[in-house]
Amino acid sequence: MSQNRVSIFDTTLRDGEQSPGCSMNLREKVRMAMKLQDLGVDIIEAGFPIASEGDYAAVRAVAAQCRKVKVAALCRTAEQDVARAAEALKDAAHPRIHTFCATSDIHLEHKLKKSRSEVIDMTRAAVRQARSYAEDVEFSAEDATRSDIDYLCEVLEAAVDAGASVLNVPDTVGYTTPMEYTHLVQQVRERVVRDRDVTISVHCHNDLGLAVANSLAAIEAGARQVECTINGIGERAGNASLEEIVMALHVRADRLPYATNIKTTELYPTSQLLSSIVGIDVQPNKAIVGRNAFAHEAGIHQHGVINNPLCYEIMTPESVGVPANSLVLGKHSGRHALSLRYTELGYDVTPAELEAAYARFTNLADKKKRIYDQDLISLLNTVVGAAA
């Protein structure tokens, strides 16, 4: 893989599904996995086979259906876990066994109740066992960002020696900051990876709202795999958002010259599919895929977009797959056209609301050549809010 190529490891079906209210049945998981394959992700983490019969069945089904991507199964560093993951992946075209063990002292003492040396032995044994089933093995040091760095590197070294080709350095509890994470990834690269053909991966949680920032910092520091989810779903405050990472790399290629295999025009449709499956919409102001992401309130921003939308738009809706209006609206459009568009968007607009929205719409259309659905929604929200 090119040094400027970043692999996208999607864990929507595993870590994302652990988000409260985001569970999916087998048919829904396969449907989502097929969409992720179309999106262009490199790895789909399909589940945690030892956790339940449902997860086992989901990994088997996704592995059978998704033949163009790597399919990963998660397992602890326990013999039965690794064997179960391998069994679930036996029909995969490109299987990856992803085994993990905590490395922070707080986890060792209170969760695992194991010594540091025992964890190293567990890591070595699990990775060796996984390698007996698959060539592609990833090891994750759970709670890496709260681990002693010398011990962390010792565990990761043991994993590489046993056959792991991907080392994940996760920010499991969303604790780190970009500069701190940069240093950690650099240390792993210099002290463990060195000149070996081993990929550093990162998996960031969003407890402090820094998951995407931390992921980008890690890429600059040498990570070449990013673990993320559609819409940023995941445990607690969620995971790093796939669409935000990808578009940050896309828009800021001048500062972040790293390529992915993602088809950006599939981002919005993929986001919408996930929302429809789990029944949870993203917040209106969500970056990239929120309904207000490309909306401009009539007023202060409008002057800047008269001649050049780039005054306030660093990407176009079309670039992330937001559908263009089927009905083109402009300054010559009438109330009927505007009313029809609101109906198509799912809004039941009263005559009074339509009149007020139309007045704002014509003012906006005089200033802005391209009227997006998000603009219309923003205008209507303003009208309804003013009347409340």
388 residues of the chain, pLDDT tens digit each: 667 999 999 999 999 988 888 889 999 999 999 999 999 999 999 999 999 999 999 999 999 999 999 999 999 999 999 999 999 999 999 999 999 999 999 999 999 999 999 999 999 999 999 999 999 999 999 999 999 999 999 999 999 999 999 999 999 999 999 999 999 999 999 999 999 999 999 999 999 999 999 999 999 999 999 999 999 999 999 999 999 999 999 999 999 999 999 999 999 999 999 998 998 989 989 999 998 787 654 443 444 444 566 666 799 888 999 875 445 576 667 888 888 888 877 788 999 999 999 999 888 888 776 777 778 888 888 887 766 5
2 part of a folded domain: no
CB-based contacts of 84-89 (< 8 A; 24+ apart in sequence): 84/49, 84/50, 84/56, 85/49, 85/50, 85/59, 85/130, 86/130, 86/133, 86/134, 87/49, 87/56, 88/47, 88/49, 88/56, 88/59, 88/60, 88/63, 89/59, 89/60, 89/63, 89/133, 89/134
Same domain, 95 and 177: yes
> Cβ distance 240 to 227 under 8 Å?
yes
Question: 133 with 269, same domain?
Answer: yes
Q: What is the pLDDT of residue 295?
A: 66
- Asked if residues 159 and 123 have their Cβ atoms less than 8 Å apart, the reply is yes
Same domain, 345 and 271: no
Choosing from 239, 263, 278, the residue where a domain stops is: 278
How far apart are the C-alpha atoms of 342 and 349, rounded to whole Å? Answer: 7
Q: What is the pTM of this model?
A: 0.85
Give the relative orientation of helices 53-65 and 26-39 as an angle to the nearest 10 degrees. Answer: 40
**pLDDT value at position 326?**
45
**50's tokens:** 């030892």
Is there a domain that residue 289 lies in? no
Tokens of 31: 């449907």
Q: Which of 278, 310, 333 is the last residue of a domain?
A: 278
Which residues, in sequence order, are CB contacts of 294 under 8 Å at separation 6+?
313, 316, 317, 322, 372, 374, 375
pLDDT of residue 303: 46
Domain identity same for 221 and 350 = no
The verdict on 191 and 324 lying in the same domain is: no
Kindly report the number of other CB atoms within 10 A of residue 111's CB atom. 12
190 plus 319 within the same structural domain: no
Domain count, the chain: 2
Instruction: Indicate whether 207 and 335 sit together in one domain.
Output: no
The crossing angle, in degrees rounded to 10, of helices 178-188 and 211-221 is: 40
Residues 123 and 186 in one domain: yes
Same-domain pairing of 315 and 178 = no
Domain assignment present for residue 129? The answer is yes
Lookup result for tokens 């949870």: 280
Provide the pLDDT for residue 328: 59
Residue numbers of the domain that contains 341: 302-387
313 and 170 inside one domain: no
CA 98 to chain CA centroid, nearest Å: 18
Clarify whether residues 316 and 264 are in a common domain.
Answer: no
In a domain, 175, yes or no: yes
HEC string for the chain: CCCCECEEEECCCCCHHHCCCCCCCHHHHHHHHHHHHHHCCCEEEEECCCCCHHHHHHHHHHHHHCCCCEEEEEEECCHHHHHHHHHHCCCCCCEEEEEEEECCHHHHHHHHCCCHHHHHHHHHHHHHHHHHHCCCEEEEEECHHHCCHHHHHHHHHHHHHHCCCEEECCECCCCCCHHHHHHHHHHHHHHHHCCCCCEEEEEEECCCCCHHHHHHHHHHHCCCEEEEEHHHCCCCCCECEHHHHHHHHHHCCCCCCCECCCCHHHHHHHHHHHHHHHCCCCCCCCCCCCCCCCCCCCCCCHHHHCCCHHHCCCCCHHHHCCCCCCCCCCCCCCHHHHHHHHHHCCCCCCHHHHHHHHHHHHHHHHHCCCCCHHHHHHHHHHHHHHHC
In a domain, 203, yes or no: yes
Q: Is residue 347 part of a domain?
A: yes
Residue 297 belongs to some domain of the structure: no
CATH number at residue 239: 3.20.20.70
CA distance 110 to 156: 21
pLDDT at 379: 86
Q: Are residues 199 and 270 in the same domain?
A: yes
pLDDT at 35: 97
Q: Does the residue 368 lie in any domain?
A: yes
